[in-house]
């Protein structure tokens, strides 16, 4: 089945919340676990609705048929002296890893960041042992600029993250 990527709509809020539970339970790479992001359906609907027409923030869903199998979001910073920068997050459910969905999501995110949000720099933090994500980001030109030691604490263990950035201009 062909994977379709499009901007999320408020009506996707429930499926997105469910998706965060699936992904959170499948990996320790995210800031949440199997309980997902734990905000109310109403809050999520409002959040997604607020992004639908934004030219600074975007939330994409990747669908396999009707099912959401990946999400990718980009947010430009709001403060004046940081507004030239943005950050993104990306998740694909495990059953669909290594099929190019992360690559497609990142293409859309960077296109939006550059051409719509007009961001100059995109940055991210990624677990230093998350090989596939680091491979993916490096493929698009992201470079490691440092290590944030102990960025996460998972089951009592501190976990280091790479800080990466990409200049779009
Ligand atoms: C990271 C993630 C988004 C990648 O999504 P994906 O749909 O599998 O991505 P793609 O298939 O487009 O690309 C994965 C790449 O990693 C490569 N890869 C897979 N395992 C790897 C490994 N152990 N070492 C190095 N590269 C690896 C694949 O070969 C592929 O590279 P290619 O396009 O050059 O062939 C997905 O694994 C995921 O959601 N993981 C859990 C959440 C997460 O870690 N999010 C990122 C938080 S910063």
What are the sequence ranges of the domains in the chain? 3-122
Does residue 103's CB lie within 6 angstroms of at least one atom of ligand 1? yes
pLDDT tens per residue across all 169 residues of the chain = 799 999 999 999 999 999 999 999 999 999 999 999 999 999 999 999 999 999 999 999 999 999 999 999 999 999 999 999 999 999 999 999 999 999 999 999 999 999 999 999 999 999 999 999 999 999 999 999 999 999 999 999 999 999 999 999 8
Does residue 29's CB lie within 6 angstroms of at least one atom of ligand 1? yes
Here the tokens at position 73 are 């979001």
Here the tokens at position 106 are 């990142």
CA dist., res. 112 & res. 145, Å (int): 23
Over residues 92-125, the pLDDT tens digits come to 999 999 999 999 999 999 999 999 999 999 999 9
Place of tokens 């980001």: 137
Could you tell me the CATH superfamily of domain 3-122? Gcn5-related N-acetyltransferase (GNAT) (3.40.630.30)
Does residue 97's CB lie within 6 angstroms of at least one atom of ligand 1? yes
């Amino acid at each position: 089945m062909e994977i379709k990527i499009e901007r999320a709509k408020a009506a996707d809020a429930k499926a997105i919340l469910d998706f965060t539970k699936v992904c959170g339970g499948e990996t320790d790479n995210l800031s949440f676990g199997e309980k997902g992001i734990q905000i109310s359906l109403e809050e999520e609907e409002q959040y997604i609705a607020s992004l639908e027409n934004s030219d600074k923030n975007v939330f994409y869903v990747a669908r396999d048929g009707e099912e959401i199998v990946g999400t990718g979001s980009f947010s430009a910073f709001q403060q004046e002296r940081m507004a030239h920068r943005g950050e993104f997050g990306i998740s694909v459910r495990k059953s669909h890893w290594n099929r190019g969905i992360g690559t497609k999501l990142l293409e859309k995110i960077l296109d939006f960041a550059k051409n719509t949000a007009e961001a100059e720099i995109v940055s991210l933090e990624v677990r230093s042992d998350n090989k596939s994500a680091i491979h993916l980001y490096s493929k698009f030109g992201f470079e490691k600029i440092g290590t944030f030691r102990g960025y996460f604490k998972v089951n009592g263990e501190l976990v280091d993250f790479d800080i990466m950035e990409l200049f779009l201009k």
